[in-house]
Structure 1
Amino acid sequence: MSEEQKRRLQTQLWSICNYLRGKMSGDEFRDYILGFIFFKFLSERLYAIAQNALEADGIQYEDLDETNPDHKEIIEAVRQEAVDALGYHLNPSQLFDQIAKKIKADKDAFVIGDIQQLLSDIENSTRGEESEDEFIHLFEDMDLNSSKLGKTPDQRNEVVKGIIKQLDEIDFQINQIEADVLGDSYEYLISNFASDAGKKAGEFYTPQKVSEILARVVSLGKTELKSVYDPTCGSGSLLLRVAKHVKKVGRFYGQEFNRTTYNLARMNMILHGVHYKHFDIKQDDTLERPQHPDLKAEAIVANPPFSLNWDANDLKLSDDRFSPYGKLAPKTKADLAFIQHMLHHLDDKGVAAVVVPHGVLFRGSSEGHIREHIIREMNALDAVIGLPANLFFGTGIPAAILVFKKCREDSENILFIDASRDFEPGKNQNNLRNQDVDKIIDTLASRQAIEKYSYLAPLSEIAENEYNLNIPRYVDTFEEEEEIDLVAVNAERVEIEKEIAELNAKMQGYLKELGLS
């Protein structure tokens, strides 16, 4: 598929959103639009598996009748193959194309009951199977009987039929394209919804270029990763971005607190062609109830919520994640608690990259103590990267990226990069450009000191600064003002005054001629 075709697909998918715009808020119709796209995708994937299995017998899967005893055996054989390959199953009458045909054939067709049931059937087809955790409750946010879709059942039915009709006109080309193309289009929609959602978007989406930096940091110099983990995974975009920079990721791990966003992350994984056996996304509070207790990940990426309130009860000092430090992050600022969690789950030869507010770099008290322990006792901080302000949804404050390694190649220095001035101004948000991202990664790879951009700080200097990591302490970006030539300025002032006097004289002459002076 060409880039032009890809853009056309994205435009077609986004245009469907206009059908629901005005009927409900963006973060509400997002769940319906993405859910229906996902249903069509699952349907086409299932159909491809079924046709491959039945091709030799010349049987069309959609022609099979679930009530026919002779056909039931064939459908069961397809079910077994589909559940093993894809993790789920759909009967012939439940295929997206069949629903669309029913709507075209009968303009009065009432379909929301059938569709709600088949969405439940997709989930139920995984019960007791290895794929159950990846599919169960996946469609719980698609309540087709919700008044959000319309006041009456008939109104809701018309809205759902309208979405089906528009989606039916779009060819996903499942058999002709890599899974990533449709997955990228899904990601494009998530990005657009994030832009529309504004402040709320911070809950589920990290700006693409920031994701790019994090992904390239943890994959630098590697072609394969055994495992990638995001403890606050949102829609899963960060995990999937890492996969674009290596040939293979063995397994994806993630945890997300918000239930709706958790479902979105699982859909996003599947739409990007990640097999259900190769990802493990859990839903719960990461700091309170971590769901991957034995995980040691080769790469960890995260954009945790800034300065989150958390239960900093002293009992947590018995938790292996926090006990080595002797102190907990403040109750009103969980930023360093997330970092402690990440370091606990980082493999000895792994790399972690996390987005933090600038306060994490210099705040004192328990945060200063934890920061000192990470640097002095663990020697795990590898780099500090300052980003421009107003990059993120929901906040205009500047942020930084911290890079951690337990076994550092350059164990005597910490690299500081001040990339805060390299960006493209935007109407609502500033944006990083490709050259800005490349410059950060190239500097990180070479660990070079560049005037007014980067500095390699010895650990002794960090200690002298009492483990304060405020970037201006290390990267001097001060620009001397050009010396003013007072003689030249005065001469220019005299010339301007002379021109003004001449203009006034001319004006007086004109007024005199007109008899107005």
Structure 2
Amino acid sequence: MALKKSDLYSSLWSSADELRGSMDASQYKDYVLTLLFVKYVSDKAKTDKSALIYVPDDGSFDYLISLKGKPDVGEKVNVAIRRLAEENDLLGVINNANFDDPAKLGSGKELQDKVSNLIGIFQDMDFTGSKAEGDDLLGDAYEYLMRHFATQSGKSKGQFYTPAEVSRIMAQLLQIPANTPKSTTVYDPTCGSGSLLIKVADAAPNGLTIYGQENDNATWALARMNMILHGNETHDLRQGNTLATPKFTYNGNLQTFDYLVANPPFSHKTWTNGFDYSFGRFDGFDTPPDKNGDYAFLLHMVKSLRPQGKGAVVLPHGVLFRGNSEARIRTELIKRGYIKAIIGLPANLFYGTGIPACLIVLDKEDAQARTGIFMIDASKGFAKDGPKNRLRPRDMHKIVDAFTGGKEISGYSRVVPVSEIADPKNDYNLNIPRYIDSSEPEDIQDLRAHMQGGVPDRDLDAVQPYWDAFPSLRAELFRPLREDYSKFAVNKSDIQAKVTQSPEYGAFAKGIADTVDAWWADKRKLLVDITTSTRANDLIQNVSEALLEAFRPRPLIDEYGMYEQLMSYWNTSMHDDVALIVSDGWDGSARPRLARTWKDKNNKPKYEEAHIVTGNRTTAKRWVMDLIPPEYVVARFFSQEKAELDGLSLEQEAASQAVEGYTEEHAVEEGLLWEAVEDNKITKTLAAARLRVARREGAEADEIEALQHVIKLYEAEAAAKKAVKDATAKIEQLALAQYLKLTTDDIQLLVIDDKWGGAIRRQIGAEVTALGQALIARLRVLGNRYESTVGELEAEVEALSAKVTAHLAVMGFKG
């Protein structure tokens, strides 16, 4: 059975748990990533005889397994990993973690157990089917770990990782043609762990030739491992300070490249230390300020681009508007036409800093002919993700669509003429809010409406997209009152019903459902044809782009919202399903399997969560259905039995409520059941014991009757629970047997139509419902705001004051 992404993530993070507490995250990542690397290259060597990484027997992961539990396991793991490093020119890359370090791993038995447990966690992983093609499990797992390590490390330790979402956007902003040969070069002068370079290479169908430089030795080692894990064994990454000692030079000049990406350290304060001025990086430009290296890195990148070269760079927002020498550098860059686009990103995206950043797209091709800069304000599009913000699929796609299509979207994107940027009032300041107003319109209180009544037509016009989608609805909800004002034609309490029950709203919802059905039917054959050669990323790209196109022409609906619903489901569930099918085929991935078992730190058995458990404690079998959970089989093949079970469940609920209600009434102090209560609770056993005593003592008839009644209620509840348990066991046995009878067509029907299609339809339906609720909420706000005029409120206050005065007079108080 193929390893699911979610299971892999869980196992990888549990390996970090073995080390947590004894060292900083920036240190224990070395142990986890080293074992991940050894396991991956060992598995790959078993199946790929042409693999560029040679794995000696005494440097393989199988050899590490043989060391588990031995007193000198730490020392021998170090030796084995060093053997692997020596055979592949990876000394100083994969052997940096010391598995025999008592300061970090403890001593004696503690170290022995910790290292053995780490090996055991990786032992059950199987990477023989992992592909280095941009959507491979290993690459995703590596990103998962790097993201978590960056989060855990905090401070400046996050510098080694650029969020994958930002990396993917930058790769697409380069617009690399599909026929680009692999010999085309891409360069990152501050490559960190290499994620940016990998994303760019993945965006080119034929791959690219990768170059990079990283100052920090440990981070450079991570990048080397990352390249190999992603199948980019022929990379050229060098260690050193790019500004002080650039490693890529030719005849005394900087080497130039076709494409460039970078996320340099923000506002680096010591960039001048050892800076080498001999490469002419500032020729024709001012020298950047001593205490801020943003433009030093940017000008290095400009110098490193070929005459037709293109680049994408992450920099802090300050580069867009800071003055003095930076303003003069910015002015010269604009005049030369090197800046093609600027994208403002949300704050708090990057690890180690919460300040907002921007993407600057460089393009030397036809630079002198450039008459404008394309600007995007994407600062509002994000989701909260723990302590950080994160770009959602919809945010990423909207940025790329706007840039590649040159789309001018109100409050979001526009081409800003250089003449406007050069105007004295702007003076080459590139601060995005100068050119794009993305602020929310103010919700204005209308004094005339408060004084004279009515709802301002201005407020109704503000939701015009709804009236475009539902042409008759405005007239049904409002009547003209006077010029520029309307009044509600329905009561506030009837707004929701009027909207949701209108024929146009119903037709709109049905139109959305029909569009989804047509899109899904059109892509069904593509899903049916999933085979071992299917690339998951290509599949979802095809399916998701078709969904976007299907919804672009529809009024009111946000196609990116529809896209987000699909991608959310893809990321949480569907991707794992597709990976299973690619690995094991439709039939193989649908077979039930026995749950995995393992032992925790205390040597106690742990079990994977099962869908169905058969047998008793000693002979129990725990079944897991990875692709098709039992509820889908039950719904399609055993609907009658499910209906009977639902009925029994209702009866059980009623029986339990009867017990609860009766005991709440009588099992209280001085109640009929109080003598049966122990430790503030009553049970059937306690009630039966009290009944025996009560009869023997000749207790009151009411108490005896109450005890008899509550015992009957408990018995009825127990019988109802047994009926539910028996019916559940029966359905589970039927479902388990049905799995063995499923044909390939059955499996595809259950997965494509019932599971995937059903989930996506529900999520898109929720998006439509949310649209309607947003209109209803806005109308209620307006209804409440202008429900009464100031005069009416004053009259009401006067009437209430008169009542209070009258009451006070009756009570003898006089004003």
Q: Smaller-chain TM-score range?
A: 0.7 to 0.9
Alignment partner for residue 476 of structure 1, among 432, 437, 449? 437
1:65 matched residue in structure 2: none
Q: Aligned-pair distance for 1:356?
A: 1.0
| Residues 1:142 and 1:427: Cα distance change in structure 2 (over 3 Å) | closer
* 1:392 and 2:347 matched: no
The one-letter code of the counterpart of 1:36 is L
1:204 to 147, 160, 165: 160
Matches of 1:205 and 1:314, distance apart in 2: 25
TM-score, normalising length from structure 2?
0.53
CA contact (8 A) 2:244 2:275 kept: no
Question: Does the 8 Å CA contact 2:257/2:304 hold for their aligned counterparts?
Answer: yes
Give the aligned partner of residue 139 of structure 1. Answer: 94
C-alpha distance in structure 2 between counterparts of 1:254 and 1:501, whole Å: 80
Give the 3 Å change call, closer, same or farther, for CA 316–19 of structure 1 in structure 2.
closer
Q: CA deviation at 1:338?
A: 0.7
Question: Helix, strand or coil for the counterpart of 1:248?
Answer: coil
- Tell me the amino acid that sits aligned with residue 227 of structure 1: T
The match for 1:288 is 244
In structure 1, distance between residues paired with 2:441 and 2:94: 59
The equivalent of 1:168 in structure 2 is 123
Which residue of the partner structure matches residue 171 of structure 2? Answer: 215
Structure 2 gaps of 5+ residues are 452-787
8 Å Cα contact 2:58/2:80 also seen in 1: no
Alignment-derived partner of residue 319 in structure 1: 279
Do the aligned partners of 2:258 and 2:306 also contact (CA within 8 Å) in 1?
A: yes
Q: Give SS of 1:455's match.
A: strand
CA shift, 1:289, in A, is: 0.7
Aligned equivalents of 2:273, 2:140: Cα separation in 1: 42
Instruction: Give, in angstroms, the shift of residue 313 of structure 1.
Output: 7.8
Match of 2:226 in 1: 268
Instruction: Select which of 398, 401, 404 maps to 1:442.
Output: 401
CA distance, structure 2, for counterparts of residue 152 and residue 481 of structure 1? 64
Supply the AA of the counterpart residue of 1:393: Y
RMSD: 2.9
Q: Are 1:149 and 2:104 an aligned pair?
A: yes
Residues 1:98 and 2:53 are matched in the alignment:
no
Measured after TM superposition, the shift of residue 481 of structure 1 is 2.8
The residue number in structure 1 matching 2:297 is 338
Do the aligned partners of residues 137 and 501 (structure 1) sit closer, same or farther apart at CA in structure 2, a change above 3 Å counting? farther
Give the equivalent residue in structure 1 for 2:82. 120
With over 3 angstroms needed to count, the CA separation of the structure-2 counterparts of 1:358 and 1:39, relative to structure 1, is same
SS of the residue 2:384 aligns to: coil
**Deviating more after overlay: 465-474 vs 333-342:** 465-474
Amino acid at match of 1:365: N
Change (3 A) 1:499 1:163: farther
Does residue 35 of structure 2 align to residue 40 of structure 1?
no
Equivalent residue number for residue 457 of structure 1: 416
- Is the aligned partner of 1:355 residue 2:355? no
Distance 2:288 2:67 in 1: 58
Letter in 2 for 1:231: P
Cα distance between partner residues in 2 of 1:267 and 1:504: 83
Where 1:142 maps in the other structure, the secondary structure is coil
For residues 371 and 404 of structure 1, the distance between their equivalents in structure 2, rounded to whole angstroms, comes to 13
User: For residue 8 of structure 1, what is the aligned residue in structure 2?
Assistant: 7
Q: What's 1:301 paired with?
A: 261
The whole-number CA distance in structure 2 between the counterparts of 1:13 and 1:454 is: 41
* Distance in 2 between residues matched to 1:190 and 1:287, nearest whole Å: 26
Relative distance call for 1:495 and 1:228 in structure 2 (3 A) is: farther
Aligned-partner Cα distance in 2 for 1:16–1:86: 27
1:106-152, Cα deviation, whole Å (9 max, x unpaired): x44422222111222222224xxxxx3xx231134211232343342
Q: Relative to 1, partners in 2 of residues 1:493 and 1:431: Cα closer, same or farther, differing over 3 Å?
A: farther
Cα 1:114–1:489 change in 2 (3 A) is same
Residue pair 2:287, 2:325 contacting (<8 A) in 1 also: yes
Bigger shift: 419-428 or 494-503? Answer: 494-503
CA distance in 1, matches of 2:274, 2:107: 53
TM-aligned CA distance change 1:114 to 1:351, over 3 Å: same
Given that residues 244 and 273 in structure 2 are in contact (C-alpha distance below 8 angstroms), is that contact kept between their aligned partners in structure 1?
no
CA distance 1:159–1:426, change in 2 (3 Å): closer
Alpha-carbon deviation of 1:427? 3.9
The structure number with the bigger radius of gyration is 2
CA distance in 2, matches of 1:206, 1:264: 13
The separation in 2 between residues aligned to 1:157 and 1:445, in whole angstroms, is 55
Structure 1 residue 31, shift from structure 2 partner: 0.9
Q: 1:97 to 1:397 in 2, by over 3 A?
A: same
Task: Give the aligned partner of residue 602 of structure 2.
Answer: none
Cα-to-partner distance string for 1:90-116 (whole Å, 9 max, x where unaligned)? 1x243211331343xxx4442222211
Q: For the structure 1 residues 108 and 281, does the alpha-carbon distance in structure 2 shift closer, same or farther, using more than 3 Å as the test?
A: closer
TM-score by length of 1: 0.81
Aligned partner of residue 249 in structure 1, secondary structure: coil
Cα distance 1:455–1:292, how it changes in 2: closer, same or farther (>3 A)? same
Asked whether the 8 Å contact 1:298–1:351 carries over to 2, the reply is: yes
Task: Give the alignment partner of residue 233 of structure 1, picking from 169, 173, 191.
Answer: 191
Q: Give distance in 2, aligned partners of 1:9 and 1:314.
A: 44
Does the CA contact (< 8 Å) of 2:41 and 2:53 recur in 1?
Answer: no
Say which SS state the counterpart of residue 149 (structure 2) adopts: helix
Cα deviation digits, residues 404-440 of structure 1 (max 9, x gap): 1111476111111111122223441222111211111
User: Is the CA contact 1:187–1:268 (under 8 Å) kept in the aligned structure 2?
Assistant: no
Whole-angstrom distance in 2 between the partners of 1:446 and 1:121:
52
Q: Secondary structure at the match of 2:415?
A: strand
SS in 2 for 1:212: helix
Instruction: Deviation per CA, 1:203-237: give whole Å up to 9, x if none.
Output: 11111221121111113544536111111111111
Report if the CA contact (8 A) 1:184-1:272 is conserved: no
Q: In 2 relative to 1, CA 253–473 (structure 1 residues): closer, same or farther, beyond 3 Å?
A: same
**Which residue is equivalent to 1:402?**
360
Residues 434 and 108 of structure 1, relative CA distance in 2, 3 Å threshold? closer
Distance 1:177 1:215, change over 3 A: closer
Aligned to 1:60: none
CA deviation vs aligned residue, 1:284-323 (integer Å, no higher than 9, x gap): 1111111112432221111111100234489855432222
- Are 2:450 and 1:489 equivalent residues in the alignment? yes
Letter matched to residue 38 of structure 1: F
Percent identity of equivalent pairs: 37
Count of aligned positions: 460
For residues 408 and 199 of structure 1, the distance between their equivalents in structure 2, rounded to whole angstroms, comes to 41
- Label 1:89 to 1:478 Cα distance change in 2 as closer, same or farther (>3 A): closer
Question: Is this contact kept in 1: 2:143–2:164, CA < 8 A?
Answer: no
> Does the 8 A contact of 2:201 with 2:208 survive in 1?
no
Partner SS, residue 417 of structure 1: strand
Q: 1:26 offset after TM fit, Å?
A: 1.8
Task: State the distance in 2 between where 1:449 and 1:342 align.
Answer: 28
SS at the partner of 2:311?
strand
Q: 1:243 to 1:319 in 2, by over 3 A?
A: closer
Q: Would the alpha carbon gap of residues 501 and 100 (structure 1) be closer, same or farther in structure 2, given more than 3 Å must change?
A: farther
Q: Per-residue CA shift, 1:174-209, capped at 9, x if unaligned?
A: 146556322221222111222222334431111122
Distance between the aligned counterparts of 2:93 and 2:798, measured in 1?
75
Sort the Cα spacing of 1:150 and 1:482 in 2 relative to 1 into closer, same or farther, 3 A: closer
Question: Aligned in 2, Cα 1:187/1:504: closer, same or farther, shift over 3 Å?
Answer: farther
